[in-house]
Amino acid sequence: MRIVIQRVLEAAVSIDGAVYSQIGPGYLLLVGFEDGDNETILPEMARKVVELRICDDENGKMNLPLSSIAGEILSVSQFTLYADCRKGRRPSFIRAAVPEKATVLYDAFNRELEKYGVTVKTGKFQAEMKVSLINDGPITIILDSDEIIKTGGK
């Protein structure tokens, strides 16, 4: 599982020219799943997202978790996080989980995030979405379950 976290002042997803979901200050998450991923990694990845101290404290230092700013999450499924660009000019996505599996994992991950009391809004799985955001910082963090969980990195 890979997650790109962007700290935002606001973010929105539009589908067919209409706003589908939007948030104020918080995190835009781009969430992708690999073929070998399963639900056992979701609680730890959700905990990592909500407990990361990447929000500014009163001194402007990244020292606070999302809950300290009453931030929201906009979670967007993003299979292209598993693009393999090593050969040729057209990416391969064979490592990405198939849609039937990825949608189950995506929904379950968003439920894990909600367990922390954070408001979670989503994109629409497999829809053609337009994502807009105002990146705050800019702060962009990449989490990979292979590094965080499978190798014991905390």
Arch. (CATH architecture) of 2-148: 3-Layer(bba) Sandwich (3.50)
The token pair that represents 34 in the structure block: 């690999």
* φ, ψ at 21 (rounded to 5°): -150, 150
Q: Are strands 26-32 and 72-77 parallel, antiparallel or unpaired?
A: parallel
Give domain limits for the chain.
2-148
* φ, ψ at 148 (rounded to 5°): -85, -40
Residue 105, Cβ density class (10 Å: 0-12 exposed, 13-18 middle, ≥19 buried): buried
| Catalytic residue numbers, as ranges | 78-80
35 CB-side CA count, 13 A: 5
Ramachandran assignment for 88, one of left (phi > 0), alpha (psi -120 to 50 degrees), beta (any other): left
pTM for the full model? Answer: 0.93
Lowest mean pLDDT, pick from 5-19, 102-116, 124-138, 140-154: 140-154
CA 53 to the chain's CA centroid: 16
pLDDT in tens, 126-138: 899 999 999 999 9
Q: Are strands 62-64 and 55-56 parallel, antiparallel or unpaired?
A: antiparallel
Using omega within 30 degrees of 0 as the cis cutoff, is the peptide bond preceding 138 cis?
yes
Amino acid at 108: A
* φ, ψ at 48 (rounded to 5°): -60, -45
Helix axes 99-114, 42-51, angle to 10 degrees: 50
pLDDT in tens, 30-68: 999 999 999 999 999 999 999 999 999 999 999 999 999
